[in-house]
Amino acid sequence: MPVVLPLHVERLIDLALEEDLFLGDVTSDATLDPAMEGEGRFLAKDELVLAGADVAVRVFDRLGASCRFEGQDGFAFGRGSFIGTARGPVRALLAAERTALNFLQRLSGVATLTRRCADALAAGGGKARLLDTRKTTPGWRRLEKDAVRAGGGANHRFALGDGVLIKDNHVAACGGVGQAVQRARARASALLKIEVEVSDLAGLAEALSAGADIVLLDNMDEASMAEAVRRASGRVLLEASGNMTLERLPRVAATGVDFVSMGALTHSAKAVDISFEITG
Amino acid sequence: MPVVLPLHVERLIDLALEEDLFLGDVTSDATLDPAMEGEGRFLAKDELVLAGADVAVRVFDRLGASCRFEGQDGFAFGRGSFIGTARGPVRALLAAERTALNFLQRLSGVATLTRRCADALAAGGGKARLLDTRKTTPGWRRLEKDAVRAGGGANHRFALGDGVLIKDNHVAACGGVGQAVQRARARASALLKIEVEVSDLAGLAEALSAGADIVLLDNMDEASMAEAVRRASGRVLLEASGNMTLERLPRVAATGVDFVSMGALTHSAKAVDISFEITG
Amino acid sequence: MPVVLPLHVERLIDLALEEDLFLGDVTSDATLDPAMEGEGRFLAKDELVLAGADVAVRVFDRLGASCRFEGQDGFAFGRGSFIGTARGPVRALLAAERTALNFLQRLSGVATLTRRCADALAAGGGKARLLDTRKTTPGWRRLEKDAVRAGGGANHRFALGDGVLIKDNHVAACGGVGQAVQRARARASALLKIEVEVSDLAGLAEALSAGADIVLLDNMDEASMAEAVRRASGRVLLEASGNMTLERLPRVAATGVDFVSMGALTHSAKAVDISFEITG
Amino acid sequence: MPVVLPLHVERLIDLALEEDLFLGDVTSDATLDPAMEGEGRFLAKDELVLAGADVAVRVFDRLGASCRFEGQDGFAFGRGSFIGTARGPVRALLAAERTALNFLQRLSGVATLTRRCADALAAGGGKARLLDTRKTTPGWRRLEKDAVRAGGGANHRFALGDGVLIKDNHVAACGGVGQAVQRARARASALLKIEVEVSDLAGLAEALSAGADIVLLDNMDEASMAEAVRRASGRVLLEASGNMTLERLPRVAATGVDFVSMGALTHSAKAVDISFEITG
Amino acid sequence: MPVVLPLHVERLIDLALEEDLFLGDVTSDATLDPAMEGEGRFLAKDELVLAGADVAVRVFDRLGASCRFEGQDGFAFGRGSFIGTARGPVRALLAAERTALNFLQRLSGVATLTRRCADALAAGGGKARLLDTRKTTPGWRRLEKDAVRAGGGANHRFALGDGVLIKDNHVAACGGVGQAVQRARARASALLKIEVEVSDLAGLAEALSAGADIVLLDNMDEASMAEAVRRASGRVLLEASGNMTLERLPRVAATGVDFVSMGALTHSAKAVDISFEITG
Amino acid sequence: MPVVLPLHVERLIDLALEEDLFLGDVTSDATLDPAMEGEGRFLAKDELVLAGADVAVRVFDRLGASCRFEGQDGFAFGRGSFIGTARGPVRALLAAERTALNFLQRLSGVATLTRRCADALAAGGGKARLLDTRKTTPGWRRLEKDAVRAGGGANHRFALGDGVLIKDNHVAACGGVGQAVQRARARASALLKIEVEVSDLAGLAEALSAGADIVLLDNMDEASMAEAVRRASGRVLLEASGNMTLERLPRVAATGVDFVSMGALTHSAKAVDISFEITG
């Protein structure tokens, strides 16, 4: 069965293939017989959590080759493991290789970092779930959000249109947290919860009395977070955000917040190393 | 004068704006008066070399706001500096903010890392120039190649179509380095030089006698590079590649190679931190 | 200031202009001097609530003419009122006319019907708000949702991605309402409320104990709705849906439900009649 | 054999799928196993003439499911009839359902209304054929023109480029009907007939002496139409247009005009009711 | 006022600019200051009839420069004449130059050949008008049809959708010319005339009795054409086609046919020579 | 195996099919049974070298038919030869016919002229290879460059981005050939050779001392070319360009230059005549 990707992802693949192949592949065209068939293998050079497998499959497919992986997105591979295979005309394999790897390495990088952070969060006890943010690579939001889930994280809102998040500018324009929440309740879709960003416990108090559904605790220390959990006492969901690091996550989890969000999952994940070698 | 960006970049901006704004901005729509005008300022939270300014300008322009920066791509800003300003309807400013920052932070991250590496290379003496690779973010090749130049690096080939680079698969298919170079000479554009990838000095010898224009020394240690420089004695250009780190660059430069290429410039640059605050 | 429309709407305008003008306008090309300038006026031939003004403006703009309206979307015009004016080359006015009217008449039709229904709902007393559905014209969702708001309605979820609505198929696959709500709570974005569709009071009871945020009462009679309101006693929001007619709305409002949704707002709105006459 | 649709229709399907699925289907993703296969059935809840079957097939196909109908476009189904079946992953069926129905219900609505009007016209005797107009849903012209034919109507010109229709503005600019026809004859394609719109019998006389091929009788009463038929005595084709209603059609047919055109076929057709139920 | 081109032409310009500038302009980027402004002049190196001026204007406009011509499409320039000027950043002028010239030279080539053929036809006396065909450069139909009119020719049908032309395959499938015409009359738009292709006088007789509006005389000699004119005696329009050459046109015109169509106008026009020189 | 064409070529095919079929095929729709299957044959009416076969295959494929050729691009067919076959629904064959032929005839025209010129060049002795230029049909660069290779020519740079060619404007802006070459060497990709255009032997001397890799001899006579070859004595590659004709090529080849480039290969190739006849 063919892979069905969102049109938006197909358009990103269009851009990717065009930028690498707009003028063809002059080296392969000059040196390789178009009829020569071959096979190549993907190997993990780092320990990694796979993500982006469907995109890689589609990249090979677009160029007339096929590809399959030894596990789905979210599967963890040890260093040196055999990850997958591609087959088809050697020219197609070499033309697809770099683009497929560039997708796989970055997306698996996001999934791998997410897995590590999710594990750190779990180590702290508590119920906190790890969330991503909108700090994603422009054009890649869907792919990176999928990679976060592959790594064991959950997704915060996808875009500006599927979640209400009231920040200081909105509050200032409305003349207070209460009015801002009220307007949002009146005008936004009733299916959306209302989240308010606050930077201290006074802000939390305002948000609670305004009837927010979720409160984002921005850049607070763990002591304040714990106090916020105590004061909220279950009336709202609490999300901790700002300056999260792998080391800090267990301590944050221990405060009892419901969510911890980290921009770094997508904007600072290092690409993992995956090789592709023609084997025959 | 309006910014003229390549169509390919406009299409990436299309993807970026659609993914964040496909369903509108429900928070701003509910809480902000559409007629309210405002101004916001970009501030460097890290020391950085700017890149992506034109893209950010275009993002604001697409949404009906304007934006200008205090320096062009390649300009270095200290931590805390004022980088630029955007003006227009507050709804437009908030709708453009995240996408513009996501572009700026990643591209300035590439430029900043490149500057650091180029300086390290220069510190080693020698004539070596720093090059990028094709290990770029799919869809972003043009932008990242521009960011590398903004950082003081130079560009290796843009794509598979504007440079001949003969690797082991091509050699194997042709039955030897000599035959591979000969076929490339016969069939590829005469305006392109021919580069051959080798992994040891024996490979270099083959490449020299095959008449390559450039030889890529893959994953060699500095001693071998220095010996390669001696043996080539100016007959070909030499490019060192593989496992380059900031620390190692001065030593590599000292071997006398002509170019050093680093995939990390684009695949592992950390996003720099830039804030955008509505100031009025 | 130029109108900024979502890219998706620009693409629909592309389709619309291409389908009418792909081969040019053979009559005007044969009979009209390209330099002749003119002006035309839009007149309401029915009582109507305006919607789609920005799209009409953009259609004229695309063809090199300009257009402005006497009121924004949501403004009510009496039969015979002067609505707006377009100016530019007569060839452009005639080329834009039909497409602009086709947009305006349909979208104003949606707004006009919505206004009528919202008024009927208000007449019934109670707090119920009028909602649209996903039964929109394919390609027109954004425009029709905007027209509903212009008419005084509110929007239900925009798409399958910004709201959880659990129906019988989901329940069946999960083995019960409770499990379905639990899975949705665990896997969907925490910013989304969870709505469950039920067809009788037994279903409501299940949804209440499963912890739904909103319950859709599908095709119930007013007596059952009133009983549902009593049983829910404010613990969930209640949405009434199915077989709504203008006549029935006041009675439904009187039951005390929170929302009434009507597919007919978008799938069965009659186009209102608007004329465009070249006046000089 | 795969369905081959015009590119323009494929683009409309792109818009339709993107607007409903841009952020995925959060409910199904959370509650349904991706591997679960199923089948669903389309049922006619109204008496209807089918149109849009190929588009519905393509919508399912795009999402990885298949679909087939019990009759081609133009086939009449009684209330309660089984119309067609879709098969594939349940997630795909539910993702395609709403978009497919939105297409089918509107297009079958056009075909159904057309059939009813064509029958009414036939009941009046005479040779008159029922025509559509350019008052179509922007982006849907091809689909709605096909639906009109499925319903037993014929198509007037598709666009501004495949038919000459001289209206008052063209006449005014040319200084008379005679000059307008003459210019059209001289400058437009010789394969196109020339139609002139008139609003009374004096206008008809002018059009006849100007050598028009077809005359559009705009908003005339039946007596005038009959007189026009008498005066034209076969020298031109006559098209009656304006304020046509189902009730009036037999009387209009009886006047002996060649064509009757009705904007309402496309701009005011009510969507017919079709259900889709997952059956296993 | 900005040039308004059909979307289809804008897309062709997209392709043209991308194919030449996808990787930028490495020579200008390396050698020219981006701030340097300049001016360039177009000169006719052949005697020519201008066509494509608007496209050239748009090409410069897309790259941030401006351009204007000394005459509109259809204007004849002598060898050595000054045709137009472009102004803007020198990098933009050089980037636009080749693409603009490639459009201008080919389209002016079509207009120039058309003018020559139209003059030859006129020299033969008679009323025959020169027509183009569908033998155009794929992607360029609109532009080449416009160039034919600029040269003094008229357009045959634009596409397969705006004219009925019955050929042997259609006749064979219908079982005769009569039945084919009858079906076309019954099913195609009433605004379209019906043309039938015949290869001898027997065919003409069939077409006449079938009630064709136009008859295409395919590959007949002048004597047969003259006889066809005599036999048709004004009941149908006659189009002569096949193996037309400049030399033969006066003799064909003299036979009295209504139209002469020539594929060579578009498929074999030689590009005229136009130079562009930076003058300051 | 399906044909894989570059996205850019697919977009050109989109334009081509839309412009011919935007309104459908009214003749075939009216006269042919949609279920009727058939077969057609391509025949060479001229002696020709085939090019564009893959594009023709894809055109038929897009419309639901299939097509295969008796030889690949570059194969020479005698006048009257059978070239290939298409099979499928007759409506699809007739809808694809003209577009497929328009591609094939033009591209085979380029290949045929190139073969003739390459043979003439070979007849002159010497080592000169025949090159194309950037004087291609906008939108068709890739296809025409492929056709040149099919005809036995080689490709000069594809675009402004994959080759450095320093012309008088660049030299003027830099203040001399030496400085221009130096800047290009410093700033352009090291994989690109540097070519300089000169118009006389003095220019050649400058280019040689500036260290150019290739020198383009613009519009020189054969005596000067021969002298240039003598003076360059192998230090640079020499390309002769300007006013090349079939007759002159042997004499140019005899001067000993390395390359001869001809814009006429693409801008003035005459379409070859190929027929397509439905045979059953």
- D115-140 pLDDT, tens digit per residue, is 999 999 999 998 999 999 999 999 99
What are the backbone dihedrals phi and psi of residue E192, each rounded to the nearest 5 degrees, phi first?
A: -95, 135
- D42-93 pLDDT, tens digit per residue, is 999 999 999 999 999 999 999 999 999 999 999 999 999 999 999 999 999 9
Listed residue (A240, A234, A276, A274) closest to A255, CA to CA:
A240
Q: How far apart are CA B239 and CA B217, in angstroms?
A: 6
- The residue length of chain F stands at 280
Burial A227-256 (b: 16+ CB within 10 A, else e): ebbeebeeebbbbbbeebeeebbbebbbbb
Listed residue (A109, A49, A36) closest to A78, CA to CA:
A49
Tokens of A4: 């069905």
- B43-59 pLDDT, tens digit per residue, is 999 999 999 999 999 99
Going by pLDDT thresholds of 50, 70 and 90, the confidence category of residue F279 is confident
Residues in C whose CB is inside 8 Å of some CB of A read 129, 131, 154-158, 161-165, 187, 189-193, 195, 214, 237, 258-259
pLDDT, chain E, mean: 96
Residue to test with chain C: of E1, E3, E5, E7, most C Cβ within 10 A? E7
3-state secondary structure C101-151: HHHHHHHHHHHHHHHHHHHHHHHCCCCCEEECCCCCCCCCHHHHHHHHHHC
> Who among E7, E158, E159 is closest to C18 (CB)?
E7
Percentage with pLDDT > 70 across chain F? 99
| Opening angle at CA C67, ends C63 and C72, nearest 5 | 135
Annotated catalytic residue C218: yes
Distance from CA of A94 to the nearest CA of C (A): 35
Going by pLDDT thresholds of 50, 70 and 90, the confidence category of residue E224 is very high
From residue D93, how far is each of A6, C183, D2, D33, D53 by CA, in Å? 16, 20, 19, 13, 16
Name chain C contacts of D158, Cβ cutoff 8 Å. 19
Tokens of F88: 């499928």
- C189-217 pLDDT, tens digit per residue, is 888 999 999 999 999 999 999 999 999 99
Q: Is C209 exposed, middle or buried (0-12, 13-18, 19+ CB in 10 A)?
A: exposed
Partners of A197 in the beta sheet?
A216
> Who among A7, A158, A162 is closest to D17 (CB)?
A7
Tokens of B191: 């305006």
Lowest pLDDT segment from A65-69, B185-189, C142-146, F128-132: B185-189
- Is the Cβ pair B8, E18 closer than 8 Å? yes
Average pLDDT over residues F237-258: 96
pLDDT, chain C, mean: 96
Would you say F94 and F87 are in contact if contact means Cβ atoms under 8 Å apart? no
Other C-beta atoms closer than 10 Å to the C-beta of E66 total: 12
Going by pLDDT thresholds of 50, 70 and 90, the confidence category of residue C21 is very high
- Is the Cβ pair E6, C14 closer than 8 Å? no
Listed residue (C193, C32, C29, C20) closest to C98, CA to CA:
C20
Average pLDDT over residues C234-254: 96
User: What residue in D sits closest to A2 (Cα-Cα)?
Assistant: D64
- B240-253 pLDDT, tens digit per residue, is 999 999 999 999 99
Name chain C contacts of E159, Cβ cutoff 8 Å. 23
Domains of chain B and CATH, by start? 7-110+270-278 (3.90.1170.20), 119-267 (3.20.20.70)
Average pLDDT over residues D204-233: 97
What ipTM was predicted for this assembly?
A: 0.96
Annotated catalytic residue B218: yes
Q: How far apart are CA F106 and CA F148, in angstroms?
A: 12
Average pLDDT over residues B159-188: 93
Q: How far apart are CA E182 and CA E212, in angstroms?
A: 9
Would you say F178 and F208 are in contact if contact means Cβ atoms under 8 Å apart? no
Going by pLDDT thresholds of 50, 70 and 90, the confidence category of residue C2 is low
Would you say F108 and F48 are in contact if contact means Cβ atoms under 8 Å apart? yes
Average pLDDT over residues A119-123: 96
Tokens of C186: 């665990």
pLDDT, residue F96, reads 98
Other C-beta atoms closer than 10 Å to the C-beta of E225 total: 21
Annotated catalytic residue F167: yes
- The residue length of chain B stands at 280
Average pLDDT over residues F158-167: 95
Containing A241, the helix (H) or strand (E) segment is strand A237-241
Contacting chains of E (3 CB pairs or more, <8 Å) are A, B, C, D, F
Q: How far apart are CA C44 and CA E17, in angstroms?
A: 45
User: What residue in D sits closest to B15 (Cα-Cα)?
Assistant: D22
Name chain C contacts of D27, Cβ cutoff 8 Å. 160, 164-167, 170, 184, 188
User: What residue in E sits closest to F169 (Cα-Cα)?
Assistant: E278
> Who among F19, F21, F270 is closest to E8 (CB)?
F19
Average pLDDT over residues D145-159: 96
Candidate list B39, B70, B87, B98, residue with the active-site label: B98
User: Is residue A2 pLDDT above 70, yes or no?
Assistant: no
User: What residue in E sits closest to C61 (Cα-Cα)?
Assistant: E4
Name chain C contacts of E7, Cβ cutoff 8 Å. 14, 17-18
Residue to test with chain E: of D127, D142, D189, most E Cβ within 10 A? D189
Query: F130: helix, coil or strand?
Result: strand
Would you say E139 and F15 are in contact if contact means Cβ atoms under 8 Å apart? yes
Average pLDDT over residues E40-47: 97
Alpha helices in chain F (DSSP H): 7-21, 26-31, 53-62, 90-123, 141-150, 168-174, 177-187, 201-210, 222-232, 249-254, 264-267
β-strand pairing of F259-261 with F129-131: parallel
From residue A185, how far is each of A212, A235, C146, D56 by CA, in Å? 9, 17, 18, 37
Q: How far apart are CA A208 and CA E162, in angstroms?
A: 67
Average pLDDT over residues E152-168: 95
User: Is residue A263 pLDDT above 90, yes or no?
Assistant: yes
Determine the distance from the C-alpha atom of residue C192 to the mean position of all C-alpha atoms in its chain, rounded to a whole number: 22
- A202-261 pLDDT, tens digit per residue, is 999 999 999 999 999 999 999 999 999 999 999 999 999 999 999 999 999 999 999 999
Would you say B274 and B83 are in contact if contact means Cβ atoms under 8 Å apart? yes
Going by pLDDT thresholds of 50, 70 and 90, the confidence category of residue B126 is confident
β-strand pairing of D37-44 with D274-278: antiparallel
Q: How far apart are CA B188 and CA F215, in angstroms?
A: 18
From residue D150, how far is each of C222, D125, D143, D273, F234 by CA, in Å? 40, 21, 10, 18, 74
CB neighbour list of residue B107: distance below 8 Å, 6 or more residues apart: B51, B52, B55, B143, B144, B146, B147
- Is the Cβ pair A21, B161 closer than 8 Å? yes
pLDDT, residue D173, reads 87
User: What residue in E sits closest to A24 (Cα-Cα)?
Assistant: E19
